[in-house]
Amino acid sequence: MKKYNSWIVSFYPVATPRLRIFCFPYAGGNAIAYKDWGDYFPEDIEVCCIQLPGRGDRLLESPISSLPVIMEKLGECFLDFAKGIPFVFFGHSMGALLAFEFTQYLKKHHQIEPEALFVSAHRAPYLPRKDNSIYYNLPDDELLMRLKELNGTPDWFFNEPELVKLSLPTIKADLELCECYSYQDYPLLNIPVYAFGGTRDPEISEDSIKAWEKHTMSEFHAKFLPGDHFFLHSSEELLVSEIYKVMRKIVLSSVKQS
């Protein structure tokens, strides 16, 4: 593993990649969710993971619930990666929202865009939440019950009281970020957007995945893979293979232009 800085790590570092994919975590998740992705890609593609404060090796840091603060701090660490080597973004659930917002942030403040944006298990940002339920300020016991219902947290986690105690502030901060999110009227992106949904996701509808098309003036594709909200894990190999098909085209295109 290589830790480029506190925000960006790679479990399979590549000395001279032709393309990088930056993966954003879901709520309560961390970079470890993508630790096996490097197994699926050839040696000219590097998988880099965004590690937010309050999780993984940053567990003892205070989590951040402010989207603008995350964008600014990540932006400070990211600019060196935007020079010379093409890159794409992927995000799952909350990570999809972060990837979209960071794409807009880079475009607005640095006139930089990824080659493509891959998003999964999150409604198009311009759509309102389907309900106004607020979970981030629930009592701990009720919030833990909600996490069990979502089926994205391993069972062993709930049997580790010390880890639960350390993790709950981060989970609450992530939920606050998502539940208090207010969409800004951004200009359309000029990059391809690829949106993925789970065929049995009770949280995110097929139409809300297809609605990502409204955020780009470039090409758009939506695909639905077997699984619930966390098909990211249950259909991992299939998901990565779909992403790789696009990334290979980007690599080949960059080779022709060089």
Is 93 part of the annotated catalytic residue set?
yes
3 state SS for 159-213: HCHHHHHHHHHHHHHHHHHHHCCCCCCCCCECCCEEEEEECCCCCCCHHHHHHHH
Q: Are strands 117-120 and 87-92 parallel, antiparallel or unpaired?
A: parallel
Q: How many helices (H) and strands (E) does the chain have?
A: 7, 8
The CA distance from 198 to 229, in Å, is 6
Instruction: Indicate which residue of 93, 120, 167, 235 is catalytic.
Output: 93
Contact indicator for 107, 82 with CB cutoff of 8 Å: no
Instruction: Just list the catalytic residues.
Output: 93
